[in-house]
Amino acid sequence: MATIHDVAQRAGVSPITVSRVINRSGYASQETRERVEAAVAELGYVPNRLARSLRSKRTHTLALVLTDITNPFFTTVARGVEDTASDAGYTVIFCNTDESENEEKKYLQVLLQQQVDGILLVPARSAPDSIDLIRKQHTPVVVLDRRVPSGVEVDTVRCENELGAYQLVRLLIELGHQRIAILSGPLGVSTAEDRLAGYRRAMREAGHAAEAQLVVYGLFNQASGAEMMRQILELEPRPTGIFAANNLIGIGALHAMQEAGLRVPEDMAVVSFDDLPPTLLTSPFFTVAAQPAYEMGQRATQLLLARLTGDASAPCQEIILPTELVVRQSSGQPRG
């Protein structure tokens, strides 16, 4: 492989001059410039960023650590991150933790070793530990999608989970439902907890009894959604409305209801958090609180880039974006 020395030799200049021409830093006469560029072309010279990074202490690489890129919400977030980073000349490394703290730790170790310039983190559980780990290496970090315990100072981009959930449940209540069950995500994950809180507030305000059996906990995936729904279907009397804490849970629930011969929304109304990309449903069906996934990725990346290029000690920002209530068929008509 040709190095900067080879190019320098060929062009009859010193390596540093080549460096200057390539990076457009410092001066270079027109003639020198041309000679260098010719040599670069002839030798097919490709600068070694590793060496550059070692020297400059900048890798121009960001990392996005999330739970599962095949969840369409995160896929869209990832695309927002990638586009924004790429425009600014950064590349992005993706890691899937599958909600495992251990995987998260392992990935963070590797990423820090790689000297990534910054990390976008969807924390699996104990955000503070991970944030500490990252901060020890003086690496900027932005927490995405999930809330961190109060008192932890860190840039954050997330949605109004409590309010979005409240609005969804409120809608069901206004449509005349009284017994509404929630298929919740895992305890310990802030999005699950906030959505549960929104559900509880709506129920409380409407004066509906807080029945423990109407709250079921599971994971943010389809299998768990189906499982939770089967549990709910055992109840006597059955709830008439279901709040699924995310899109995958909602889909799983729908399948369980189909198995049981129930129609949605005629027999049971369903609302869920997180929209599905319009490309993915043959006919948009779910009533949802939609998060601006792409924008979340975008904003989080902008925040991170600002830390890198600007003031690293500026006060932390907490960007909380609104969800959009999108009413479709699954929530049904007002009950008689």
Q: What letter would DSSP give residue 207?
A: T
How do strand 324-326 and strand 287-290 relate by DSSP bridges?
Answer: antiparallel
How do strand 241-244 and strand 180-184 relate by DSSP bridges?
Answer: parallel
Q: Is 116 helix (H, G, I), strand (E, B) or coil?
A: coil
- Number of Cβ atoms within 10 Å of the Cβ of 186: 17
State the nearest-atom distance from the C-beta of 171 to a copy of itself, in Å.
19
For residues 18 to 37, the per-residue mask of contacts with DNA, x marking binding by CB under 7 A and - elsewhere, is -xx-xx-xxxxx-xxx----
Indicate the residue among 137 and 167 with the shorter CB distance to a copy of itself: 137
Q: Is 234 helix (H, G, I), strand (E, B) or coil?
A: coil
Residue 16 binds what, of a copy of itself, DNA, none (CB under 5 to 8 Å, by partner type)? DNA
Q: Are 117 and 58 in contact (CB under 8 A)?
A: yes
Indicate the residue among 13 and 244 with the shorter CB distance to DNA: 13
Cα gap 78→276, rounded to integer Å: 15
Strand ranges inside the chain, DSSP E = 61-66, 91-96, 118-121, 141-144, 155-159, 180-184, 215-217, 241-244, 269-273, 287-290, 318-321, 324-326
State the nearest-atom distance from the C-beta of 31 to a copy of itself, in Å.
26
By CB under 7 A, residue 282 contacts DNA: no
Footprint on this chain of a copy of itself (rule: CB under 8 A): 1, 44, 46-51, 53-54, 59, 61, 68-70, 72, 75-76, 78-79, 82-83, 86, 91-96, 109-115, 136-138, 221-222, 248, 251, 254, 258, 276-283, 285-286
Residue 44 binds what, of DNA, a copy of itself, none (CB under 5 to 8 Å, by partner type)? a copy of itself
Indicate the residue among 225 and 239 with the shorter CB distance to a copy of itself: 225
State the nearest-atom distance from the C-beta of 206 to a copy of itself, in Å.
28
Residue 180 binds what, of DNA, a copy of itself, none (CB under 5 to 8 Å, by partner type)? none
Give residues with Cβ within 8 angstroms of 56, minimum separation 6: none
195-204 burial: b if 16+ Cβ within 10 Å, else e:
bbebbbbbbe
Residue 23 binds what, of DNA, a copy of itself, none (CB under 5 to 8 Å, by partner type)? DNA
Q: Among residues 9, 37, 52, 126, which is the contact residue for DNA, using CB under 7 A?
A: 52
Cα gap 327→274, rounded to integer Å: 12
Q: Among residues 51, 280, 316, 327, which is the contact residue for DNA, using CB under 7 A?
A: 51
- Number of Cβ atoms within 10 Å of the Cβ of 298: 20
Q: Give the binding range for DNA (CB under 7 A) out of 6-14, 178-186, 202-210, 221-229.
A: 6-14
State the nearest-atom distance from the C-beta of 145 to a copy of itself, in Å.
17
**Interface with DNA (CB under 7 A):** 1, 3-5, 12-17, 19-20, 22-23, 25-29, 31-33, 47-48, 51-52, 54-56
